[in-house]
Amino acid sequence: MAKSKHIYVCRNCGAQSAQWIGRCTSCGQWNTYEEEVLKKEKAAVKWQNPDAPKTTNKALLIHEVPSGFEKRFETEDKEFNRVLGGGIVPGSIVLLGGEPGIGKSTLMLQVALQQTAMKILYVSGEESATQIRMRAARLGMTQAPHLYLLAETDMEAIFRQAHSLQPDLLVIDSVQTLQSDLLESAMGSISQIRECAGAMQRFAKATMTPVFLIGHITKDGTLAGPKLLEHMVDTVVQFEGDRNSGYRILRSIKNRYGSTSELGIYEMQQAGLREVSNPSEILLSQRDESLSGITVSATIEGVRPLLVEVQALVGNAAYGTPQRTANGFDLRRMNMLLAVLEKRLGFRMGTKDVFVNIAGGLKVNEPATDLAIISAILSSNEDVAIPQEVCFAAETGLSGEIRPVVRVENRISEAEKLGFKRIYLSRYNMKGLDPSRFGIEIVPVGTLEEIYNALF
């Protein structure tokens, strides 16, 4: 007779405890423990491939290990392939995370619909097959020769289907809706998610079928799962963006088969997601005249140079405490830059409201944006526009020095390609750089005063 057992599980990190505790000893979060009931002492959903021989692993010398050069499935979606590091690796398990409504289901369905050569099983625990069909119709595609839909939440039933269909790719929408009978805890609880994801992982490795798990993350992180799943899966990609702007960014956070910090950009349209192959063009606003407070930064996201527009607004604070807001940029870093401006250039920023915004809903966390942000703030403060054909790429230090950035050649070439006429860089970046190779004027600067004098 199976013994039922109560445990307490941290909603944030998945740590377990025999008793309820107020503060997680593992991750330090308060009030995150929830009671869970296990029906069996040790529940495990087994995925067994009946044909697989029983082997015990033996330690091998590295050169004896079969090289297993990964043959990847390339999807029709170039951005998607790139973010995954060049396509889908057989037997890999990928977590696609994002806030509800951001477009995860749309993205996966679209990728699945475009595939003609692969047999795909798309399991949805959130929508009925009819709803998915309607979505497909909205995407303009209801004909896909090898796409099977299954509205199911029960793990064992999904595995039965998978075993009879033998798909080349399994998509689970979403991991929070998976449920195993072996556990008594509710759907979406941590034990369920961990158990089901573990079973999916064993399935992926045993059958070499790639599995995509969709997972919801809410802003305050209350929904269980994705955080704890991150170390169970091979790859974590996140779909993000400002829901009001049409742009969505697919970002790889962890990748055992490729580089992280890769980026894919999409535009959400009436009929689905469209790949944006030249993102700089959409991130720069189309304007006819130069306005104050707007600059362009030559940044690098993943391996791609990206020109993004920085907007700043500086005004006199109407109330005692000045307001500081940064959208798409780290607020603490902005405050640091303001302190540098105050100390090194003598601007009285303490009485000013400062708002900084990165256009297009993009988030940049590269220090190379510093100079563009400082210049935008100065431009708004002085109410003097910076010419449109100028861009920036440098970090700013606490003493007001302009510091070099990595991969400066890529940034210069991208700026040149997009028609910029002048780029401001740190003079320490000039070593080994041949300015005559580029058709864009390169202006080296060393300190904040120099940039101020050059611009105003």
Question: Which of 24, 83, 102, 162 is close enough to bind ligand TYD by CB under 6 A?
Answer: 102
Q: Is 154 helix (H, G, I), strand (E, B) or coil?
A: strand
**Interface with ligand TYD, residue 104, by CB under 6 A:** yes
Q: Which residue is nearest to Mg ion (CB)?
A: 105
Site for Mg ion in 275-314 (CB under 5 A): none
Would you say 135 and 182 are in contact if contact means Cβ atoms under 8 Å apart? no
Give the Cα separation of 388 and 8 in Å (integer).
58
The tokens of 452 are what? 């101020």
# chain residues binding ligand TYD, by CB under 6 A: 15
Question: Which of 215, 272, 361, 400 is close enough to bind ligand TYD by CB under 6 A?
Answer: 272
**Interface with ligand TYD, residue 419, by CB under 6 A:** no
Nearer to ligand TYD, 134 or 398 (CB): 134
Q: Which stretch binds ligand TYD (CB under 6 A): 60-68, 135-143, 345-353, 369-377?
A: 135-143
C-alpha pair distances (Å), 251 with each of 72, 95, 193, 241, 264: 19, 12, 23, 10, 6
Tell me how crowded residue 391 is: count the other CB atoms within 10 A of its CB: 30
CA nearest neighbour of 160 among 104, 121, 128: 121
For the chain, report the end-to-end CA distance as a whole number of angstroms: 82
CA nearest neighbour of 76 among 42, 120, 34, 117: 117
The tokens of 107 are what? 């993205």
Give the Cα separation of 77 and 282 in Å (integer).
19
Give the Cα separation of 212 and 168 in Å (integer).
12
Q: Which stretch binds Mg ion (CB under 5 A): 43-51, 104-112, 311-319, 413-421?
A: 104-112
Sequence-distant (6+) residues with CB within 8 A of 369 are 297, 299, 308, 310, 329
Give the Cα separation of 377 and 236 in Å (integer).
36
- Partner touching 103 among Mg ion, ligand TYD, none, CB below 5 to 8 Å by kind: ligand TYD
Question: Which of 75, 81, 92, 105 is close enough to bind ligand TYD by CB under 6 A?
Answer: 105
Question: Which of 27, 139, 151, 313 is close enough to bind ligand TYD by CB under 6 A?
Answer: 139
Q: Which stretch binds Mg ion (CB under 5 A): 53-61, 102-110, 275-283, 390-398?
A: 102-110
**Interface with ligand TYD, residue 100, by CB under 6 A:** yes
Residue found under tokens 């979406």: 188
Sequence-distant (6+) residues with CB within 8 A of 442 are 412, 422, 423, 425, 430, 433, 435
Nearer to ligand TYD, 167 or 272 (CB): 272
**Interface with ligand TYD, residue 101, by CB under 6 A:** yes
Shortest reach from residue 197's CB to Mg ion, in Å: 17
**Which amino acid belongs to residue 227?**
K
Would you say 200 and 45 are in contact if contact means Cβ atoms under 8 Å apart? no
Nearer to ligand TYD, 361 or 400 (CB): 361
The tokens of 236 are what? 């974590």
- Partner touching 398 among ligand TYD, Mg ion, none, CB below 5 to 8 Å by kind: none
Nearer to Mg ion, 45 or 229 (CB): 229
Alpha helices (H) in 209-358, listed in sequence order: 226-229, 279-283, 331-345
Helix (H) or strand (E) segment spanning residue 57: none
Question: Which of 98, 226, 293, 361 is close enough to bind ligand TYD by CB under 6 A?
Answer: 98
**Interface with ligand TYD, residue 103, by CB under 6 A:** yes
Shortest reach from residue 296's CB to ligand TYD, in Å: 29
Q: Which stretch binds Mg ion (CB under 5 A): 78-86, 101-109, 132-140, 300-308?
A: 101-109
**Interface with Mg ion, residue 105, by CB under 5 A:** yes
Binding stretches for Mg ion (CB under 5 A): 105
Residues lying near ligand TYD in the complex (CB under 6 A): 98, 100-106, 135, 138-139, 268, 270-272
